[in-house]
Amino acid sequence: MESTRKRTLITTAVAGAGAAAALGIALAASPAQAEDPTPTPSASSSAPAADKPDREAARAARQDELAGALATELGIDKAKVAAALEKVQAAQRDEAKADRQAQLKTRLDEAVKAGKLTADEAAAILKAAEAGVLPQGGGPGGAHRGGPGR
């Protein structure tokens, strides 16, 4: 019974952390971005390189704080909770990546059927996406950054 309660609490906390992250991303886009259709330089080309370590440090601090709070609530070792959180989040990232790849393959197959791409072009795009060369999202149905409605 106690084990089920612990799993439920951890699952709820991970889901809450994911929802909070998604909300944070959604709130990060300013109203000016939603109204201005003029494209702006991507964050990767205009943001200083020093910004990424700060975000990573802040993420690590939030993760550590969450692990500590869960460990205290559950009465178990913080390192064990932190390892469980990382394992669950890694699995979620892997699943999301696989879903994106499957969606991309479906869209590419449709483009080939419609005569918009050759099979070789579709294969090259899929290979580039699998290698991490292409940014995430960006196409119809993908995760746009700063476009209308964001």
pLDDT in tens, 10-45: 665 555 555 444 434 433 443 444 444 444 444 444
List the structure tokens of 27.
């709130």
**Alpha helices of 29-50 — where are they, by DSSP H?**
31-35, 43-46
Q: What span, in angstroms and rounded, lies between the C-alpha atoms of 54 and 11? A: 27
List the structure tokens of 14.
């991970």
Q: Residue 25 is inside which H or E element, if any?
A: helix 2-28
Altogether, the residues listed in the chain come to a count of 150
- How many other C-beta atoms lie within 10 A of the C-beta of residue 122? 19
Confidence (pTM): 0.51
Which is nearest to 21 in space by CA: 105, 93, 103, 79?
A: 93
Strand segments, DSSP code E, in 36-144 are none
- How many other C-beta atoms lie within 10 A of the C-beta of residue 70? 22
Tell me: pLDDT of 103 over 50. Answer: yes
pLDDT in tens, 42-98: 444 444 556 678 998 999 999 999 999 999 999 999 999 999 999 999 999 999 999
The pLDDT assigned to 52 comes to: 76
Tell me: pLDDT of 138 over 60. Answer: no
